[in-house]
Amino acid sequence: MSAEFYERPGLNVESYDALLSTVPGGDDLAFIRGLASETGGPLLELACGTGRLAIPLAEAGFEVVGLDRSGPMLDVARAKAAELSPPAGKRIRFVEGDMTDFDLPERFGLAFAVFRGFMLLLDVDAQMAALAAARRHLRPGGLLVLDLFDPRLDLLPPDAVMPERVLTGRLPSGSIVEARPHDRRTDPVRQVFAEPWVFVERDAAGTILREDHETLTMRWTYRYEMRHLLTLAGFEDLREQGDYAGGPPAYAGEQIWVARRPEEDAR
Ligand SMILES: C[S@@+](CC[C@H](N)C(=O)[O-])C[C@H]1O[C@@H](n2cnc3c(N)ncnc32)[C@H](O)[C@@H]1O
């Protein structure tokens, strides 16, 4: 998803939480909470979107900063944070910024970009810039978690046909939103795909209330490429698992990476 996918107010942003009922790979929140208990805070959620993880982590007692480049996604996150108890509300801060180029005063025990946030970086320069910025913002010994999907090779050729998918969710107003990706185009040289999505909102009688169109652009990264990028960016103790329950790396599953900023890191 080019970041533009989330940058316009509209059905995509409004329906994000309703459409995302399950996350591929299992319980990312429990996994991040477990690591956060090991590293201690503060925590940095990169590409935090609507605060899906940042908010419950603040409720669980951690100091959290959520960074995202989309103002509309952060509006949703801030509205949810305003409902927190005052102590939890004080533990969370949202910052509008780009994960490839940001400067925060804190040094974090744990930084993470889950649900494929890293795949929104569309070339190696952007990926390396984000890894360098994450490393700078970690305490020595702190951990970075990234979660990508491991690409299905049969879907990568330019003439590949994607299976049809429909996501459905209910907005707080009670109306139903259906989101359909279609006509994905892949560029195997840049390892990028662009996928138009149509969002349709209907009332209880089935009448169409709104329709929105957005294009999701993402870059896929192979597992050894990801390992080399993390190493090149100065991380160590690399661990990859295939799901949030700790399963081994698996073809076409999730690539969930945990990497450490070295203890002896003068940068
Ligand atoms: C799929 S959502 C993930 C949100 C959240 N991490 C979650 O798990 O629900 C992707 C988010 O990444 C943000 N994003 C994309 N590119 C970004 C960038 N370069 N820097 C910061 N945020 C970015 C988008 O604005 C969007 O909110």
110-131: per-residue pLDDT in tens? 999 999 999 999 999 999 999 9
Q: Which among 133, 129, 145, 128 is positioned nearest to 225, based on CA atoms?
A: 128
User: How many angstroms is it from 52 CA to the middle of ligand 1?
Assistant: 11
pLDDT of residue 265 exceeding 90, the answer is: no
Residue 85 has what pLDDT?
A: 95
User: How many angstroms is it from 207 CA to the middle of ligand 1?
Assistant: 31
Gap between the Cα atoms of 182 and 238, Å rounded: 35
Residue 86 in domain: yes
Query: Which atom, in ligand 1's list, is nearest to the CA of 130?
Result: 19
When the pLDDT of each residue in the chain is averaged and rounded to a whole number, the result is 95
* Numbers of helices and strands, H then E, in the chain: 9, 12
Residue 1 has what pLDDT?
A: 40
Do 194 and 249 belong to one domain? no
Q: Looking at ligand 1, which residue's alpha carbon is closest to its atom 10? A: 117
Q: Which among 267, 261, 200 is positioned nearest to 39, based on CA atoms?
A: 261
Do 228 and 100 belong to one domain? yes
Do 26 and 112 belong to one domain? yes
Do 66 and 123 belong to one domain? yes
Banded model confidence at residue 97, pLDDT cuts 50, 70, 90:
very high
Do 123 and 48 belong to one domain? yes
Instruction: Answer yes or no: are the C-beta atoms of 108 and 136 closer than 8 Å.
Output: no
pLDDT of residue 227 exceeding 60, the answer is: yes
Task: Note the pTM of the prediction, 2 decimals.
Answer: 0.96
115 lines ligand 1 (CB under 6 A): yes
158 phi and psi angles, rounded to 5 deg: -60, -25
Average of pLDDT values for 201-223? 96
What domain count does the chain have? 2
Query: Which atom, in ligand 1's list, is nearest to the CA of 7?
Result: 25
Residue 172 in domain: yes
99 lines ligand 1 (CB under 6 A): yes
Residue 2 has what pLDDT?
A: 42
Range of lowest pLDDT (53-57, 71-75, 161-165, 220-224): 161-165
Residue 265 in domain: no
Count the alpha carbons within 13 Å of 37 in the hemisphere toward its beta carbon.
6
Residue 30 has what pLDDT?
A: 97
Residue 266 in domain: no
Residue 24 has what pLDDT?
A: 84
pLDDT digit string, tens, across residues 148-206 = 999 999 999 998 989 999 999 999 999 999 999 999 999 999 999 999 999 999 999 99
Banded model confidence at residue 70, pLDDT cuts 50, 70, 90:
very high
Do 81 and 203 belong to one domain? no
- Domain of residue 206 covers 153-219
Do 97 and 190 belong to one domain? no
Do 229 and 123 belong to one domain? yes
Do 21 and 126 belong to one domain? yes
Do 13 and 124 belong to one domain? yes
Do 33 and 50 belong to one domain? yes
pLDDT digit string, tens, across residues 19-65 = 987 788 889 999 999 999 999 999 999 999 999 999 999 999 999 99
Banded model confidence at residue 3, pLDDT cuts 50, 70, 90:
very low
Banded model confidence at residue 267, pLDDT cuts 50, 70, 90:
low
